[in-house]
């Protein structure tokens, strides 16, 4: 065959394959000005913070948009040796649960606090999916301030979505489980013994402290995702649920039998009334409530033993089901609060429900029947309409500031833009590949900031340099300023990104904490000046009250430690200067190192296991003389009479 023909055939097939991959009508993947739109020049700030869940890493990461630059990984539900999280004595209690210390969990969804439905930049919440918990992250310090465990739950997936004024953050069970006194039951008795719950956790409006206000006991379905009503629907909460078949095995097949599952509508204002009227039942449970105190720089963990449960049987007009096609996953309310979008994982259309029609149907008792005693509203009566043939496998929907919705499609790997008012598809772009969640800045709020949509993809295949069997997960930034979505940038993410939120930088950066004030440090082991540095022995416990400042530690020579001692290094960073942490490490430490912020005290437990002299040093490059910031600890045999002495700088 002549070369020309081979080349021509290859060219034709190449062109054909490119065209075949591309949905009709989309522009070329990357256009000329993409680089300019995503480029943030050195010395310039990004416009948005992007808080991205770390999925199976258990953490939350913070990126800048549009640059995609990673600024910080906030340790939440997993230990983080880099920051001493879960290793320092002060932070260990944060990972305590009713099951004891849990070092690694799975964080799927961030939720940024809102006031009157608009971002207020105070807190980010995150869910622990495996051992059910909710964390509150303080956006002044970018640190996890509080973690509360959720009892009567298995798989806290439908969480931590929030109400308009952050009155409540919710936690819905993915796994229904047996609960109460009868928990040792055959798995096959699922239909009889397994129940689901959704929990409403109140958030103190000033300090943010969380408390489980009430749980609602529900049929044994799988709760998946949720969104609060807003504006006219404020006071309601919507939860998607699947497995209305109530299968306990091979859900891949057995939970996909019915044409429709449900979106559950909860009137939480009504639930509050029932709580006030004493309709709740107090149930004995066990769950941990952990709080990090910024003044003592220590966490405490308390085990709580009671929760208030509302049963819809005793509380009419509180819970309704709406039929929703094919195992709904996403359940998203538009900025007006009028429309609730259900996304059936296996559906080829997107139903959009109308809050006004829901209220009318409830008033008219327009029910198709009931499910386990809970009224099921008539599908056609509550439907605003369906987005027809949008793609295959709709998952999640976010909204912009111009009346458009953006829905992710896992199977067809694309974002589809449609108009909320008339449900017409107006644009679609391919993603690379298999998009899960997506994010428009302010997308779940009453006031979307618009400008971008970011796709968080599950599979990247050929997008990045290969790194063995697992590749970096991927986010993709698209401009939504024009009529057509425009791909600007790919950027890799930590762990696996599930949901993410983005917020204008100005709302956060101005409040960012720079230092912890030494005069406010109430850690009982703080040494607030070098004169307070000391070493004390209490039996086989030795407490070293140590200070760090550029560029020395006090004391830096310690003798009189014995094998078998438990040595607590309580290190206070005396710096009062932004971005000057000190680190601390001692040879042979079996857990990790410390990283101590300016003005803070952190404690490392060291159990010397042999005789010798052991180096210790600052691990965070702090100054030109960082490499001089070091010392020695002498460890003698357990019966030794070497006196306990300590010093710094006494040699001449």
Partner 1 sequence: MKHRIVLSMIWIALLTFASCGGGDKVANAETPEAAEAGTTDLGQAGVQDDESQKDIVKVAVGSADHSTLVKALQQAEYVHALANAGPFTVFAPTNAAFDKLPAGTVDNLMKADQKDALRNILEYHVALAVYKENMIRDGQSLGMANGDNITLQVKDGKMMVNNSANVLAAVPASNGLIYVIDAVLLPPAK
- Closest distance to partner 1 from the beta carbon of 11 (Å): 35
Alpha carbons 286 and 282: distance in angstroms, whole number = 12
With 0-12 CB in 10 A as exposed, 13-18 as middle and 19+ as buried, what is 209? Answer: middle
Q: Which is nearer to partner 1, 16 or 621 (CB)?
A: 621
Nearest CB to partner 1, comparing residues 97 and 476: 476
Q: Among residues 635, 643, 640, which one has the least CA distance to residue 609?
A: 635
Structure tokens at 270: 């009504």
- 4 or 43: CB nearest partner 1: 43
Rounded to whole angstroms, how far apart are CA atoms 263 and 232?
A: 18
Can you tell me the distance from the alpha carbon of 233 to that of 563, in angstroms, rounded to the nearest whole number? 65
Cβ distance to partner 1 smaller for residue 557 or 576: 576
Measured distance CA(638)–CA(634) in Å, rounded: 12
Closest separation between CB of residue 618 and partner 1, Å? 12
Site residues (vs partner 1, CB under 8 A):
33, 36-41, 43-45, 47, 66-67, 115-116, 118-120, 447, 449, 451, 479, 481-482, 504-507, 514-515, 550-551, 575-578, 580, 598, 622-625, 628, 649, 652
Nearer to partner 1, 159 or 445 (CB): 445
| 52, two tokens | 């991205």
Q: Which is nearer to partner 1, 120 or 273 (CB)?
A: 120
- Smallest distance, partner 1 to C-beta of residue 212, A: 26
Of the pair 218, 487, the CB lying nearest partner 1 is at 487
Asked if 236 and 258 touch (Cβ cutoff 8 Å), the reply is no
Beta bridge partners of 486: 479
Distances 296 to 292, 517, 530, 574, 575 between C-alpha atoms, Å: 9, 11, 19, 15, 17
CB of 121 to partner 1, least distance (A): 8
CB of 403 to partner 1, least distance (A): 17
Least distance to partner 1 from the beta carbon of 453, Å? 14
CA distance 573 to 546: 9
What's the min distance (Å) between Cβ of 79 and partner 1?
29
Residue of 393, 420, 392, 394 lying closest to 405 (CA atoms): 420
If the CB atoms of residues 244 and 547 are measured against partner 1, the closer one turns out to be 547
Q: Which is nearer to partner 1, 75 or 555 (CB)?
A: 555
Q: Smallest gap, in angstroms, from Cβ of residue 650 to partner 1?
A: 11
For residues 270 and 278, give the distance between their C-alpha atoms in angstroms, rounded to a whole number: 13
Comparing CA positions, the residue from 483, 392, 467, 486 lying closest to residue 435 is 392
In angstroms, the Cα distances linking 90 to 54, 147, 353, 590 are: 23, 14, 48, 17
Cis peptide before 244 (omega within 30 of 0): no
Query: Minimal distance in Å, beta carbon 446 to partner 1?
Result: 11
* 160 prior amide bond cis, ω within 30: yes
DSSP string, 162-206: B-TTSSEEEEE-SB-EE-TT--S--GGGHHHHEEEEEEEEEE-TT
Helix or strand or coil: residue 508?
A: helix
3-state SS, residue 55:
strand
Q: Are strands 557-562 and 630-636 parallel, antiparallel or unpaired?
A: parallel
| Alpha-carbon dihedral 441, 470, 29, 403, rounded to 10 degrees | -20
In this structure, how many other beta carbons lie within 10 angstroms of the beta carbon of residue 434? 20
Name which of 580 and 605 has its Cβ closer to partner 1. Answer: 580
Toward partner 1, which CB reaches closer, 389 or 514? Answer: 514
CB of 430 to partner 1, least distance (A): 21
- Cα(560)–Cα(547) distance, integer angstroms: 19
Cβ pair 131, 97 in contact under 8 A? yes
Closer CB to partner 1, 47 or 565, in the complex = 47
Q: Report strand pairing: 168-172 vs 298-310.
A: unpaired
Could you say which DSSP state residue 30 is in? B
Minimum distance from residue 482 beta carbon to partner 1 (Å): 8
Minimum CB distance to partner 1, residue 504 (Å): 4
Residue whose CB is less far from partner 1, 101 or 578: 578
Instruction: Report the largest interatomic distance among the alpha carbons of the chain, rounded to a whole angstrom.
Output: 93
**In Å, how far are 211, 316, 370 from 171, measured between CA atoms?**
12, 21, 24
Spatial contact of 489 and 477, defined as CB atoms under 8 Å apart: yes
* Closer to partner 1 by Cβ: residue 66 or 342: 66
Q: Is 297 helix (H, G, I), strand (E, B) or coil?
A: coil
Q: CB nearer to partner 1: give 20 or 36.
A: 36
């Amino acid at each position: 065959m002549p070369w020309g023909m081979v080349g021509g055939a290859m060219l034709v097939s190449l062109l054909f394959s490119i065209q075949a991959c591309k949905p009709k009508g989309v522009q070329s993947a990357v256009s000329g000005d993409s680089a300019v739109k995503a480029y943030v020049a050195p010395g310039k700030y990004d416009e948005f913070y992007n808080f991205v869940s770390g999925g199976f890493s258990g953490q939350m990461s913070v990126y800048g948009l549009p640059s995609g630059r990673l600024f910080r990984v906030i340790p939440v539900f997993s230990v983080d040796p880099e920051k001493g999280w879960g290793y320092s004595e002060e932070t260990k209690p944060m990972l305590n649960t009713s099951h004891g210390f849990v070092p690694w969990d799975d964080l799927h969804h961030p939720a940024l606090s809102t006031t009157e439905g608009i971002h207020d930049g105070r807190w980010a919440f995150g869910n622990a999916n495996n051992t059910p918990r909710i964390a509150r992250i303080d956006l002044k310090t970018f640190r996890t301030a509080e973690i509360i465990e959720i009892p009567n739950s298995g798989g806290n997936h439908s969480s931590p979505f929030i109400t308009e004024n952050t009155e409540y953050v919710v936690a819905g069970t993915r796994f229904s489980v047996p609960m109460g006194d009868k928990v040792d039951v055959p798995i096959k008795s699922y239909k009889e013994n397994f129940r689901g719950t959704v929990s409403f956790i109140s958030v103190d409006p000033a300090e943010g402290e969380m408390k489980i206000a009430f749980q609602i006991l529900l049929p044994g379905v799988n709760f998946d995702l949720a969104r609060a009503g807003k504006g006219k629907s404020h006071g309601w909460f919507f939860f998607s649920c699947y497995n209305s078949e109530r299968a306990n095995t091979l859900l891949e097949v057995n939970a996909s039998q019915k044409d429709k599952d449900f979106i559950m509508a909860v009137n939480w204002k009504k639930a509050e009334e029932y709580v006030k009227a004493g309709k709740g039942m107090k149930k004995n449970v066990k769950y941990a409530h952990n709080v990090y105190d910024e003044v003592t720089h220590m966490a405490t963990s308390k085990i709580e033993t009671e929760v208030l449960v509302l049963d819809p049987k005793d509380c009419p007009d509180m819970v309704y089901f709406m039929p929703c096609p094919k195992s709904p996953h996403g359940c998203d309310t538009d900025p007006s609060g009028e429309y609730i979008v259900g996304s059936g994982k296996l559906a080829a259309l997107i139903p959009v429900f109308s809050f006004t029609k829901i209220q009318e149907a409830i008033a008219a008792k327009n029910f198709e029947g009931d499910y386990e005693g809970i009224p099921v509203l008539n599908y056609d009566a509550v439907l605003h309409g369906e987005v027809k043939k949008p793609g295959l496998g709709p998952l999640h929907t976010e909204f912009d500031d111009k009346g458009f919705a953006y829905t992710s499609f896992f199977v067809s790997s694309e974002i589809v833009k449609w108009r909320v008012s008339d449900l017409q598809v107006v644009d679609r772009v391919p993603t690379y590949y298999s998009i899960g969640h997506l994010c428009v800045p302010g997308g779940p709020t009453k006031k979307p900031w618009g400008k971008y949509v970011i796709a968080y993809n599950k599979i990247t295949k050929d997008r990045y340099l290969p790194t063995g069997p697992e590749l970096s997960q991927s986010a993709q930034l698209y401009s939504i300023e024009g009529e057509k979505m425009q791909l600007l940038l790919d950027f890799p993410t930590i762990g696996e990104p599930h949901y993410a939120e983005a917020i204008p930088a100005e709302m956060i950066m101005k409040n960012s904490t720079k230092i912890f004030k030494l005069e406010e440090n109430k850690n009982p082991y703080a040494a607030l000046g070098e004169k307070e540095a000391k070493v004390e022995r209490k039996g086989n416990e030795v407490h070293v009250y140590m200070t760090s400042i550029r560029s020395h530690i006090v004391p830096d020579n310690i003798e009189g430690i014995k094998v078998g001692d438990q040595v607590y290094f309580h290190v206070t960073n005396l710096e009062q200067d932004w971005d000057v942490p000190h680190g601390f490490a001692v040879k042979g430490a079996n857990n990790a190192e410390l990283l101590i912020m300016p003005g803070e005290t952190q404690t490392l437990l060291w159990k010397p296991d042999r005789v010798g002299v052991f180096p210790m040093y600052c691990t965070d490059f702090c100054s030109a003389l960082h490499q001089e910031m070091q010392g020695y600890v002498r460890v003698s045999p357990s019966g030794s009479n070497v006196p306990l002495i300590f010093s710094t700088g006494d040699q001449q």
